Amino acid sequence: MKRPFLDSNIVLYLLSGDAEKADRAQTLLEAGCVISVQVLNEVASVCMRKLKMPWQEIEALLIAVKAACQVVPLTLESHEKAIEVAKRFKLPFYDANIVACALLSGVPELLSEDMRGGLQIDGLVIQNPFTTPTR
């Protein structure tokens, strides 16, 4: 089975006080997954803005995540696909960027706690890994 694509909220659970969700996020990363540069950007932003982490800790987290995941780039193609997805499915644009990268990478599922679980977009299924068993 192909590896799942992770939304930034799943990656951020690595830092959570919720041990069950942190453990699940860790298991998903250890099993191998796909993320986009958009996910890395969102993780860095939340770590800086909301969590007030020092850059040294943010960089250490990003290095670990990049080592565990296949990282796909943001491109003009992913940008255009994101606009299409945002319009068709009425998703926020940054979520649509993540969906677009997941679609273009050919993964079967996108794991996210924030997006509509069960939503199918052109063969991609969005699942909440904390409520829906995966792999």
Query: For the whole model, what pTM was predicted?
Result: 0.91
Q: Which amino acid belongs to residue 28?
A: L
**pLDDT tens profile 41-73:** 999 999 999 999 999 999 999 999 999 999 999
- Summarised one tens digit per residue, pLDDT across range 87-103 is 999 999 999 999 999 99
Decide: 103 and 85 in contact? Cβ < 8 Å.
yes
Provide the angle, in degrees to the nearest 10, between the axes of the packed helices 37-49 and 55-68. 150
Torsion of CA 123, 130, 105, 77, to 10 degrees: 90
Structural domains of the chain sorted by starting position, each given as residue range(s) with its CATH number in brackets:
5-127 (3.40.50.1010)
19 vs 2, residue with greater confidence: 19
